[in-house]
A and B are shown apart, each in its own frame.
Chain A
Amino acid sequence: MNNNKSKHALLSVSALALMGTMLTPAASWAMDGEKVIQEKCLSCHTRTGNPETPYSRISQQRKTPEGWQMTLQRMQHRNGLVLSSEETQAVIRYLSDTQGLAPSEAAPFRYVLEQKPNVVEDVDPAYKEMCARCHSNARFGLQRRTEDEWKELVNTHMAIHPTTELHALARDRRWYDIALNETAPKLAMDYAFNDAAWKQWQKMAKPKLEGSWSVAGYMPAKGDYSAILKVVKTSDNKYSVNLDGHYADGSLLSGNGAAQVFSGYEWRASLTIDGVSMRQVMAASTDGTSLTGRMYQSAHDEIGGDLRAVNGSAIVGLSPSALKQGETSEVTIFGGYLKGSVNLGAGVKVLKVLSRDADRVVVAAKASASATVGMRDVAVGATKAKAQLAVYDKVATVQVSPPQSLARIGGNGGKIPKVQSTYRALAFSAGKDGQPGTDDDLRLGYMPATWSLKPQNEVAEEDRDVEFAGTIDSNGVFTPGDTGPNPQRKMSTNNVGMLKVVASVKDGDSTVEGESDLLVAVPSYIKRAIQ
């Protein structure tokens, strides 16, 4: 187990430091982060004399654990800071807990902490060109600084990335002046250091996360899964975790690992599941009833999916989540320790309970031909969940999720691996008005599809991108081409391309297609915990 954990740490920079303590043999004492700051950081940083914000540059900022991790990495890389793994952990722990973000502050930008790919941000025009031409909105949206600190950050940019003011969309304006005198003050308003949310969160009782959780999630190429997550406290903010369950096709899922909780709600776990190193990045709800986030492969963070855990016994999902009128199908109800009879709602008959496990109940069910189109609540004994199962007449539209995506060429003997992209087909029926694309469309959930690629536009067709840029498999997993110049291509260009991903969903005798845009881009040479 320890060997596997070591591998996690080596394979990914993003959660390296955060997972570090798990590698150390259960330290019986907790290192004092503030003491480390005083011993190691104050050779450059100074005491301000203000007990509220005692250390220059440090005490005027609040960040996520990953944000503090990046700060420490920069200090080590650029400024000669030397910290042991334990000291690093202690400082990240201390700063995340005392100068972190409140759940409401981190909420809009969780996707970047979760390493969720293919999120298209809607950025305030004031930041779009000044900040977000290089960074995600999440990069600065997950920081809180005083105005002076935002200004110091501008100066840091000028010193360590001096060509910043010469980039396209910078050299056509007085970049430094605007950044210092317009952007920094706005950042200080929008992402204020002194925000009531954090003060309030610090006073609140923090969620207790021990116990058993009903889990539903999705893993590309494997499908939906249900599981029981068992969480046992090992020391303050540290837990051992076991995850056991089934994929929807009945195959088993099993793993264990360790978790830490930062800032009272930021769940970071490292597990080995069926031999594969995985990470969980989740947020506990403030009442402690649920954990939501994403689980992904440590070595390929694009391969992952949403994960939701509800404390105790609960119905957390259905697979499939839609039945066609007149159709008989196996339906798996995801949920922990479900007992009692299964009710799938009006017009849907449970023909037989096929199996019961700790994490799920599998039934054979039939929707009557006359069952009304719409959502059904689902109950297993006394456990109920609203609007879980859709009964539909026909599939009207299919959307490919994500609607816009990016894959990156790689491999080919180089240091940077390929970055895949994964797709699902989300089906809708037309709803009462019979018109697809209107507000009353009924979301049927994800459906099996056959997958294909086509050129996105005339240029892609002319350049034969479909031939070179990559392939998609039967699970909707796109694997991009090799990196490097390709003599077979025009101008020996590399295997980049602009494609459309096409999903074909069979609905009875007809096939409904959906498509989304895929850009196959060059490798990304710099990988950060917060992109």
Chain B
Amino acid sequence: MKFTHMIKAAALIGAVSSVALMSGCSTNPSASLNGMKGGGHEYLLTVSRPNQLHVIDTETNKIVRSCDVPGVFGQGTVEPSPDGRIAYVGTNKWEDVAGFDITNCDMVFFAKQSDKTVTVKSFVSLAVSRDGKELYTIQNPTRKLSDRYEVMEPQLAVYDTSAGLDAKPIRTFPVGRQITKITAMDTGEVILGGPDLQAINPQTGEIRMLSKLQHWDRPADKWVQPDAFAMHSLGEHVDEFIMPYFTIKWNGDPGDMEKAEFWWGMSRVDLKTGEVEQTETVPFEFIIFNFITDPEDSDVIYGAFNTLSKHNIREHKTLAVHNMEHTYYDLNMTHDRTIYVGGTSSDISIHDPDTLEKIGSIQLPGDMSTSGMRIAYLK
């Protein structure tokens, strides 16, 4: 069995090399990629305890390499660079950011955000500009004074990705509290996934509203203020950002649970245009931590937790449900629509998008806990 895989892997590497040679590049990409495939080949990135970044080939579903991340396990946030070469990892209890070349595990970037008196936490907020030149975090600083703590204003910190291993912010701009997931758009702005969806211009600090959630305009006697929260993957396979939320619609008096409807909803942003669609998606019958969109039909979304489920958001219908072997926290998808479900434990469960049946599994050396699973499209 092992032999077969090795032979298959060797054959694939050989094939890639010959393609690269035939393309007439001046350098040998297969050599520069250390045997990995370029051309947008999809590598799944995730982090497991004690603190390792794993690079997984989605063609073989095998770990290509595991890179030791300095510091204690953070939250497992991973952010690939646009060229798929660098994986930025949140580490050290939500404080530091380390960037690794996924072709050789070389650490090429490191930002220590805290200092002696100021502790800076970035809650899964890590984004890279669309040109790969800048890295963004949301910093939540507190200062330890002699006998008390000072709660400081959160800020967007902008780093130069070429700053090396002692990176310092080159610009900072004040932002609101409670921001988790962020991502960069083609507009140059950075989406701030917090109580509301906002976009900040990282050059000027100017903030505009994308999608009101905590401050939405719906009447309080009809709708409960949504519980919006994102920790995991966002929709890079279709170039979008999804902030899921939960809300209650009161059909009777507020608080009348008998007549109430319980809804999942989402604010979905097109990263190319910045266009936002906010809609209730499916009745709250399943727990999910994130939604991903089907690349072939944007009306179809998937979610996972104790079940993997597939829904049509226009018809508010659940199309399929698959019971999982244990609880998982997040899911992601490759371009060929293969579903990867991970988080919590030490395995990634692979599923068919049409039947939702399990078609494979990847065993990691440690628990993923809250780690994200992101796809790097290696150029």
Contacts and interface: CB of A to CB of B under 8 A. Distances in A.
B148 A174 contact: no
Interface of A: 44-46, 56-57, 152, 155-156, 158-160, 162-163, 165-166, 168, 171-177, 485, 491-493
Nearest to A149: B148
B2 interface: no
Contact of B123 (A158, A163, A491): A163
A133 to B, nearest CB: 13
A188 to B, nearest CB: 17
28 contacts: A44-B146, A56-B147, A57-B147, A57-B148, A155-B142, A155-B149, A155-B150, A156-B148, A156-B149, A158-B142, A158-B149, A159-B119, A160-B149, A162-B121, A165-B177, A166-B123, A171-B227, A171-B229, A172-B214, A174-B177, A174-B178, A174-B214, A175-B178, A176-B151, A176-B177, A491-B306, A491-B327, A492-B326
A243 to B, nearest CB: 43
Nearest to A46: B147
Given A56-B147, A171-B178, A172-B195, 14 more contacts: A45-B146, A45-B147, A159-B151, A160-B149, A162-B140, A162-B142, A166-B229, A168-B227, A175-B178, A176-B177, A177-B177, A491-B323, A491-B324, A492-B325
A136 to B, nearest CB: 24
A168 B149 CA distance: 24
Contacts of B323: 491
B146 A46 contact: yes
A493 B306 CA distance: 11
Interface in B305-331: 306, 323-327
A493 B326 CA distance: 7
B371 interface: no
B226 A172 contact: yes
Contacts of A155: 142, 148-151
Contacts, number: 75
Contact of B214 (A44, A56, A162, A173): A173
- Per DSSP, chain B at the interface is loop
Nearest to B124: A166
A492 B346 CA distance: 14
Contacts of B227: 168, 171-172
The 4 closest A-B pairs by CB, nearest first: A159-B149, A159-B142, A172-B227, A162-B121
Interface of B: 94, 119, 121, 123, 140, 142, 144, 146-151, 177-178, 180, 195, 214, 225-229, 306, 323-327
Nearest to A41: B147
A406 to B, nearest CB: 21
Nearest to B119: A159
Contacts of B144: 159
B180 A166 contact: yes
Tell which of A158, A176, A492, A493 has the most Cβ of chain B within 10 Å.
Answer: A158
B325 A491 contact: yes
B246 to A, nearest CB: 9
A176 B177 CA distance: 8
A165 B178 contact: yes
Given A44-B146, A166-B178, A491 B151 contact: no
A55 B140 CA distance: 30
A491 B142 contact: no
A156 B119 CA distance: 13
Contacts of B146: 44-46
Contacts of B214: 172-174
Contacts of A176: 151, 177
A171 B151 contact: no
A166 B226 CA distance: 13
Most A CB within 10 A of own CB, among B140, B148, B177, B227: B148
A107 B149 CA distance: 32
B154 to A, nearest CB: 10
Contacts of A163: 121, 123
Contacts of A492: 325-326
A163 B75 CA distance: 12
B206 to A, nearest CB: 22
A331 B326 CA distance: 55
Nearest to B145: A44
Contacts of B326: 485, 491-493
B43 to A, nearest CB: 29
Contacts of A44: 146-147
A31 B302 CA distance: 66
**Centre residue among B119, B144, B178, B225 by max chain A CB count within 10 A:** B178
A163 B229 CA distance: 13
Contacts of B225: 172-173
Nearest to B307: A491
B182 to A, nearest CB: 14
A252 to B, nearest CB: 51
A191 to B, nearest CB: 20
Contacts of A45: 146-147
A159 to B, nearest CB: 4
A391 to B, nearest CB: 46
A382 to B, nearest CB: 58
Contacts of A57: 147-148
Nearest to B327: A491
- Between A152, A171, A174, A177, the greatest number of chain B beta carbons within 10 A of the residue's beta carbon is seen for A171
